[in-house]
Amino acid sequence: CPSSPKHPSTPSEKCGVLNVTKITENGKKVRKSWTSSWTVLQGSTLLFAKGQTSSSSWSYYRNGSFPELLLSLLSNWKRSVKPRPAVSYKHFGRGQPCSFGGNQSKPEFTVDLRGGSVEWASKDKSSKKHVIELKTRQGTELLIQSEIDSVITDWYKALTEAINTHAWE
Ligand code: I3S
């Protein structure tokens, strides 16, 4: 996974934990419900899995994203959630392919990026910082957010590139 600085900033595959909510589905407004989701970008598809609160540290560790790892460990500790046991770094080193392995084998939902658009959300869309607004051709609108500026900036670039690359498919 390309969280490491060694990877290009706009890879064809990218993963990480993001906060996400739908605001419109098939053209109809829906109630916001922010969820922490394991998020995978694969080509023109964006996949989300729910419920990452206790395993996000593991995901960050596996993918070598240490600022996020520290933040998630801190937030897990605050929730008094036991962190997962340490596992050999050799076994799950940097650069692991992004996936929905183990209990993440089925995405909660997927988004087709072809014909979609991405922009920074205006303040009337959310009071949160670092929010991306993603619109699909099918009339679904999502807000995607991370507390970490560099993380959300990388996602903005990756999503923009994916949309541009697959626009005419
Ligand atoms: O745009 P909104 O409706 O003010 O968004 C907020 C609400 O969805 C709120 O939930 P309740 O309406 O159930 O209280 C959420 O807790 C907030 O996080 C939403 O606002 P932000 O600005 O965080 O997207």
ipTM score of complex: 0.89
Higher pLDDT, residue 71 or 148 = 148
Q: How far is the CA of 108 from the centre of ligand 1 (A)?
A: 21
- pLDDT at 160 > cutoff 80: yes
Q: Whose CA is nearest to atom 8 of ligand 1?
A: 32
Average pLDDT (86-105) is 47
- pLDDT at 155 > cutoff 50: yes
- pLDDT at 84 > cutoff 60: no
Instruction: Please state, in angstroms and rounded to a whole number, the distance separating the CA atoms of residues 4 and 64.
Output: 6
Instruction: pLDDT band for 60, please (50, 70, 90 cuts).
Output: low
pLDDT value of residue 88 = 28
89 lines ligand 1 (CB under 6 A): no
- pLDDT at 3 > cutoff 70: no
DSSP tag of 139: S
Average pLDDT (55-64) is 59
CA neighbor of 163 nearest in space, from 133, 127, 122: 133
Three-state secondary structure call for residue 74: helix
Q: How far is the CA of 125 from the centre of ligand 1 (A)?
A: 9
Higher pLDDT, residue 159 or 108 = 159
DSSP tag of 58: H
Q: How far is the CA of 32 from the centre of ligand 1 (A)?
A: 6
Share of the chain above pLDDT 70, in %: 64
CA neighbor of 160 nearest in space, from 60, 46, 29: 46
Q: Whose CA is nearest to atom 9 of ligand 1?
A: 32
- pLDDT at 110 > cutoff 60: yes
Q: Whose CA is nearest to atom 11 of ligand 1?
A: 32
pTM of the model: 0.72
Average pLDDT (1-22) is 69
Backbone phi, psi, residue 125, to 5°: -85, -30
Bridge partners of residue 141, in order along the sequence: 24, 135
Sequence-ordered list of residues with C-beta below 8 angstroms from that of 42, at least 6 positions apart, any chain? 12, 13, 98
pLDDT value of residue 91 = 28
Instruction: Please state, in angstroms and rounded to a whole number, the distance separating the CA atoms of residues 159 and 100.
Output: 19
pLDDT value of residue 120 = 98
Nearest-atom number in ligand 1 for the CA of 31 is 8
29 lines ligand 1 (CB under 6 A): no
CA neighbor of 159 nearest in space, from 107, 105, 106, 121: 121
Instruction: Please state, in angstroms and rounded to a whole number, the distance separating the CA atoms of residues 81 and 92.
Output: 22
